[in-house]
Structure 1
């Protein structure tokens, strides 16, 4: 049963409330995307040495850099040329390294440098501090579902493209 009422009518067909539930979900996801974009702008002043998109790329390198540019591209939903270009600037800044893959020396994988790991950890802490007020405002029940639900919605939305 959805937020707006029953999902299936007495005749077995979809009723208006199912459509309304889908529209409410779409509205909520679009609102989440909009607030994420605004939050990105509000966080940028905290980062003198890296941009928020670069921070996202550093996070992706930590998560899946050893799988190569394609994996980072899929993780961040950025094109491979964009990832390659951003990685080059982060490499020049001493935050990551491009190294030959062990299984195919022609292919490059990405790893964070010690400086990149330290910067990513410090910036994550800043973001966590900023978002902790929102987290603390959630009830224990909401906290127990918030992270898995956000990750699940992220996965669902990322597969729409």
Structure 2
């Protein structure tokens, strides 16, 4: 049986290095974007629109921090606010065309990078790795609310 402590140490080291590289690569996509602001744009794209409070909750950040980041993204022309049709007091965040384009270009760069990294991997290894990453990520998600079931 492999040494669990050694494996956990290696996982921690590799994930820390991965996070550092991700921060560096985010800055190369756009010099004024941090990994956090880039991730916010990514989430807005995924959801189509969302509120600042949704970003704060998702990224476990203070609302004032999110407000500053959203303001920076607006000044860069990557994000815009619009009235929430369901609650006129609220505002929804949406990507601008420039934000959509930036994310499309970044997605293509990431896709090419991943394709190159995994070129020598078998389909089975790639599928297994994807499943492990998904399983690891699920540990951070809150459990489903059984009262909200369809």
How far the C-alpha of 1:158 sits from its partner, in A, is 5.5
How high is the TM-score relative to the length of structure 2? Answer: 0.76
How high is the TM-score relative to the length of structure 1? Answer: 0.71
Unpaired runs of at least 5, structure 1 = 5-19
Aligned in 2, Cα 1:141/1:86: closer, same or farther, shift over 3 Å?
Answer: same
Deviation string, structure 1 residues 94-119 (Cα, Å, up to 9, x no partner): 11111122211112221101110011
Q: What SS does the aligned partner of 1:136 have?
A: coil
Please tell me the root mean square deviation across aligned C-alpha atoms, in Å.
Answer: 2.5
Aligned in 2, Cα 1:45/1:62: closer, same or farther, shift over 3 Å?
Answer: closer
Task: Check if 1:40 corresponds to 2:22.
Answer: yes
Task: Check if 1:103 corresponds to 2:95.
Answer: no
Unpaired runs of at least 5, structure 2 = 143-150
Larger Rg: 1
Aligned in 2, Cα 1:77/1:121: closer, same or farther, shift over 3 Å?
Answer: farther
* Contact 1:64–1:72, Cα closer than 8 Å, also in 2: no
Q: What SS does the aligned partner of 1:60 have?
A: helix
1:52-67 correspondence to structure 2 within 5 Å: 52-53=34-35, 54-64=37-47, 66-67=49-50
How far the C-alpha of 1:29 sits from its partner, in A, is 4.3
